[in-house]
Amino acid sequence: MSSTTFRFALWAFGAYALAAQSPQPGAPAGGTETVISTFRVRAGKEAEFARVHAQAWPAYRRFGLVAEKPHLVLQGVDEAGKTYFVEIFTWKDHDAPDHASPEIRAIWAQLEALCEPRLGHRGIEFPEVQIVRAEK
């Protein structure tokens, strides 16, 4: 599968998963923020990245910062032949990342150290996305 095909499949799957999401109890109406985070992991650091990254989701849940679903973590290989990870999820509040606890900020610092800028992109990117259309 080509990188372009993989990216489109990832986008389509993510959009479908987000569209299928039921409203989460306690989530503020209209105040959520869905992101597609891309992590360009340094060669040889994939296992360490996976270990550190596995700590993030439970911390987000413990602090009540994210909707339970959707939560997708995917892995791929870019045009440079290097590994990257993609994570799709929804913050319960648009401002949640700006007010993250020291514990979560420490996890982010570890993740940042394991990633590298590549192919004209930062090591970690996390644009906000909106569902445009969802087919049932």
3-21+30-129: CATH class: alpha beta
**Quick one: pLDDT at residue 13?**
39
**What does pTM read for this prediction?**
0.75
Number of CB atoms found within 10 A of residue 96's CB:
19
The amino acid at residue 26 is G
**Quick one: pLDDT at residue 134?**
46
The domain ranges of the chain are 3-21+30-129
Cα–Cα distance, 89 to 74 (Å, whole number) = 12
**Quick one: pLDDT at residue 112?**
97
Cα–Cα distance, 114 to 111 (Å, whole number) = 5
**Quick one: pLDDT at residue 131?**
60
Tell me the pLDDT of the chain (136 aa) as tens digits. 455 434 433 433 343 333 334 444 444 445 889 999 999 999 999 999 999 999 999 999 999 999 987 889 999 999 999 999 999 999 999 999 998 999 999 999 999 999 999 999 999 999 998 866 645 6
